[in-house]
Amino acid sequence: KNQVEQSPQSLIILEGKNCTLQCNYTVSPFSNLRWYKQDTGRGPVSLTIMTFSENTKSNGRYTATLDADTKQSSLHITASQLSDSASYICVVSNKAPGGTSYGKLTFGQGTILTVHP
Protein backbone atom coordinates (compact mmCIF):
# COMPACT_ATOMS: atom_id res chain seq x y z
CA LYS A 1 0.00 0.00 0.00
CA ASN A 2 1.34 3.44 -0.93
CA GLN A 3 1.90 5.58 2.16
CA VAL A 4 3.50 8.88 3.08
CA GLU A 5 4.47 9.53 6.69
CA GLN A 6 5.56 12.96 7.91
CA SER A 7 7.31 13.90 11.12
CA PRO A 8 7.03 15.63 13.43
CA GLN A 9 3.25 16.17 13.51
CA SER A 10 3.84 19.65 14.87
CA LEU A 11 6.82 21.85 15.61
CA ILE A 12 7.31 25.15 17.42
CA ILE A 13 10.42 27.24 16.81
CA LEU A 14 11.60 30.77 17.46
CA GLU A 15 11.85 33.30 14.68
CA GLY A 16 15.24 33.22 13.00
CA LYS A 17 15.93 29.57 13.79
CA ASN A 18 16.28 26.77 11.25
CA CYS A 19 14.20 23.61 11.16
CA THR A 20 13.89 20.38 9.19
CA LEU A 21 10.73 18.47 8.37
CA GLN A 22 10.80 14.81 7.40
CA CYS A 23 8.86 12.74 4.89
CA ASN A 24 9.14 8.95 4.47
CA TYR A 25 7.27 7.19 1.72
CA THR A 26 6.58 3.71 0.40
CA VAL A 27 5.12 4.80 -2.94
CA SER A 28 6.22 2.64 -5.83
CA PRO A 29 7.14 2.98 -8.61
CA PHE A 30 8.27 6.50 -7.71
CA SER A 31 7.70 9.39 -10.09
CA ASN A 32 8.11 12.63 -8.16
CA LEU A 33 7.81 14.22 -4.74
CA ARG A 34 6.36 17.63 -4.07
CA TRP A 35 6.26 19.78 -0.93
CA TYR A 36 3.29 22.06 -0.40
CA LYS A 37 2.80 24.90 2.09
CA GLN A 38 -0.72 25.48 3.38
CA ASP A 39 -1.40 28.69 5.27
CA THR A 40 -4.37 28.77 7.64
CA GLY A 41 -7.57 29.41 5.69
CA ARG A 42 -5.93 28.83 2.32
CA GLY A 43 -5.29 25.98 -0.06
CA PRO A 44 -1.87 24.32 -0.42
CA VAL A 45 0.75 26.02 -2.60
CA SER A 46 3.62 24.12 -4.19
CA LEU A 47 7.14 24.86 -2.90
CA THR A 48 9.28 22.34 -4.78
CA ILE A 49 9.05 19.25 -6.93
CA MET A 50 11.79 16.63 -7.24
CA THR A 51 12.21 13.67 -9.53
CA PHE A 52 14.19 10.49 -9.01
CA SER A 53 17.46 11.99 -10.24
CA GLU A 54 17.33 15.14 -8.11
CA ASN A 55 18.91 15.21 -4.65
CA THR A 56 18.36 18.82 -3.70
CA LYS A 57 16.16 21.69 -4.79
CA SER A 58 15.87 25.13 -3.29
CA ASN A 59 13.20 27.79 -3.32
CA GLY A 60 14.43 30.81 -1.41
CA ARG A 61 14.85 29.82 2.23
CA TYR A 62 13.30 26.41 1.58
CA THR A 63 15.58 23.51 0.59
CA ALA A 64 14.20 20.07 -0.14
CA THR A 65 16.31 16.93 -0.30
CA LEU A 66 15.48 13.52 -1.68
CA ASP A 67 17.09 10.15 -1.06
CA ALA A 68 15.34 7.79 -3.46
CA ASP A 69 17.25 4.79 -2.11
CA THR A 70 15.96 5.16 1.45
CA LYS A 71 12.70 6.76 0.25
CA GLN A 72 13.11 9.80 2.43
CA SER A 73 12.78 13.51 1.83
CA SER A 74 13.33 16.50 4.04
CA LEU A 75 12.36 20.15 3.88
CA HIS A 76 14.82 22.52 5.52
CA ILE A 77 13.74 26.04 6.38
CA THR A 78 16.50 28.55 7.01
CA ALA A 79 16.19 31.68 9.16
CA SER A 80 12.51 31.14 9.85
CA GLN A 81 10.02 33.99 9.69
CA LEU A 82 6.60 34.41 11.27
CA SER A 83 5.07 33.92 7.82
CA ASP A 84 6.51 30.41 7.70
CA SER A 85 3.86 29.34 10.23
CA ALA A 86 1.78 26.89 8.21
CA SER A 87 1.15 23.23 7.49
CA TYR A 88 3.72 21.57 5.21
CA ILE A 89 2.49 18.67 3.15
CA CYS A 90 4.58 16.05 1.37
CA VAL A 91 2.96 14.53 -1.73
CA VAL A 92 4.41 11.60 -3.66
CA SER A 93 3.32 10.54 -7.13
CA ASN A 94 3.80 7.10 -8.58
CA LYS A 95 4.43 6.35 -12.22
CA ALA A 96 1.48 5.55 -14.40
CA PRO A 97 1.09 1.80 -14.68
CA GLY A 98 0.74 0.31 -18.13
CA GLY A 99 -2.61 1.04 -19.70
CA THR A 100 -3.30 4.29 -17.85
CA SER A 101 -1.99 7.72 -18.64
CA TYR A 102 -1.44 9.24 -15.21
CA GLY A 103 -0.02 8.38 -11.82
CA LYS A 104 -1.64 8.62 -8.41
CA LEU A 105 -0.85 11.11 -5.68
CA THR A 106 -0.36 10.01 -2.08
CA PHE A 107 -0.56 12.79 0.51
CA GLY A 108 1.11 12.95 3.91
CA GLN A 109 -0.86 14.21 6.89
CA GLY A 110 1.29 17.33 7.13
CA THR A 111 3.55 18.96 9.71
CA ILE A 112 2.17 22.03 11.46
CA LEU A 113 4.94 24.56 11.96
CA THR A 114 4.51 27.48 14.36
CA VAL A 115 7.11 30.24 14.43
CA HIS A 116 7.08 32.43 17.54
CA PRO A 117 8.63 35.90 17.76
Partner 1 sequence: ETGVTQTPRHLVMGMTNKKSLKCEQHLGHNAMYWYKQSAKKPLELMFVYNFKEQTENNSVPSRFSPECPNSSHLFLHLHTLQPEDSALYLCASSQDQLSSYNEQFFGPGTRLTVL
Single out the residue of 1, 14, 43, 83 in contact with partner 1 (rule: CB under 8 A). Answer: 43
- Residue 110 contacts partner 1 per CB under 8 A: yes
Q: Which of 1, 14, 42, 70 is the binder for partner 1 (CB under 8 A)? A: 42
Site size for partner 1 (CB under 8 A)? 28
Q: In Å, what is the CA distance from 14 to each residue of 11, 22, 77, 81?
A: 10, 19, 12, 9
Say if CB 6 and CB 108 are below 8 A apart: yes
Pick between residue 84 and residue 108 the one whose CB is nearest to partner 1: 108
Minimum distance, C-beta of residue 18 to partner 1, in the bound complex (Å):
25
Q: How far apart are CA 30 and CA 95, in angstroms?
A: 6
Phi, psi of 112 (to 5 degrees): -90, 115
Cis preceding linkage at 117, omega within 30: no
Positions that interact with partner 1 (CB under 8 A): 4, 9, 31-32, 34, 41-46, 49, 51, 89, 93-96, 101-110
